[in-house]
Amino acid sequence: MIASSSRRRKTASTSNVMFTNAVYFPNYKIYAGATPGMMNYACVNHVYYAFANVAADGSVFLSDEWADTQAPCDGVQGGLGSLMHLKQKHPHLQVTLSIGGGTSSETFPIVASDTLLRDNFARSARGLVEASGLDGIDINWEYPMDPQQGADFVALLASVRLHLPEEQFFVTAALPAGRAVLQNIDVAQAAAYLDFVNLVAYDFCGPWTHRSGHQAQLYAMHKEEASGGAGVAYLVGHGCPARKILLGIPLYGRSFLGVTGPGHRHKGAGGEDGAFEYNTLPRKNAKEGVDRRVGAAFCVGGDGGFVTYDNPDTVKMKATFCKQKGLGGLFYWTGPADSRDKSRSLIAAGFRALHSS
């Protein structure tokens, strides 16, 4: 019975929506008091609940049983319980289980390289999806690092589709915008199995780079620099239908101390791991600006030095780009870091710009 209801859900709700505005909700945010119920579902039609883990035998399991199924959350139990409740209130809402993240980057290559383990993964993922009342899975392998892993990634998607058929379930995958990883994957083959490619069009610069730079620029000033636009062009040029691409928006900024802009050697980074959540930006005593040539916002001054991020102006630029290129829409990492001020909310800005005439 579950399968037929999810078939109806998938077709009914996707056909009514022009563009997807998707948000990742990480389960660890529940410990900070954030809940799925805090997000504005007038502006959100897809939630990626992150992350489930994958074991070396291919089995998929919830990474935090307490946060996912037991913690008091929006009047029910657990983040997943809250989202199932929200799905009943908002029939347009799709909820997908994101599997992986940074902790699974060592396990995915093992599982994907073996026929039996791939089958275990697909069966286990379907069991978890059906038991939780979810609409599908998102594969967040960070990332296939050579051509063999790229081929194994495509083989994993093929196994998943056998057990989670297209007319019933969503299958998506997060991939970076940089050519270094994308060139390992047969993009056209991968896209044939996927509903969406979530293009991680951010983290182009950070504390790990010698020089400061924009972390999520839409366009690059120099050909060798990564950008959201270049990632989209690569995917489309290698056979991914544009409507299957969701362009990623970071809900945090990257900090560089001791500099006032991109292209400089810096003195380290402010904030936790060199990052500030978007709802704390711009920093106190810092001046916000937008570089329209590249599609990037920033603030300079205060405790962050030069902080690079997206603001409502750059999200509007990115939504306009999505419409011009025929993309599927936008996604945001992470929902709880958005501003509670409606005029500053990136999720709302993206939704409005995607759906304005």
* Residue-wise pLDDT tens digits, 331-347: 999 999 999 999 999 99
pLDDT of 174 over the 80 cut:
yes
Does 11 or 211 have the greater pLDDT score? 211
* Cβ atoms 150, 186 nearer than 8 A: yes
- The residues annotated with a catalytic role in the active site are 142
List the beta bridge partners of residue 289. Answer: 298
pLDDT-derived band at 2, boundaries 50, 70, 90: very low
Question: pTM value?
Answer: 0.96
Question: How far apart are the C-alpha atoms of 46 and 92, rounded to whole Å?
Answer: 8
pLDDT of 8 over the 60 cut:
no
Domains of the chain by range and CATH?
2-250+311-355 (3.20.20.80)
Q: What is the tens place of the pLDDT at every residue in 110-155?
A: 999 999 999 999 999 999 999 999 999 999 999 999 999 999 999 9
pLDDT of 11 over the 60 cut:
no
| Angle separating helix axes 346-355 and 312-325, nearest 10 degrees | 30
| pLDDT at residue 18 in the model | 87
* Cβ atoms 258, 270 nearer than 8 A: no
Q: What is the tens place of the pLDDT at every residue in 256-296?
A: 999 999 999 999 999 999 999 999 999 999 999 999 999 99
- The amino acid that residue 70 corresponds to is Q
pLDDT of 13 over the 50 cut:
no
φ/ψ of residue 72, rounded to 5 = -60, 125
pLDDT of 4 over the 50 cut:
no
Q: What is the tens place of the pLDDT at every residue in 35-84?
A: 999 999 999 999 999 999 999 999 999 999 999 999 999 999 999 999 99
| pLDDT at residue 62 in the model | 96
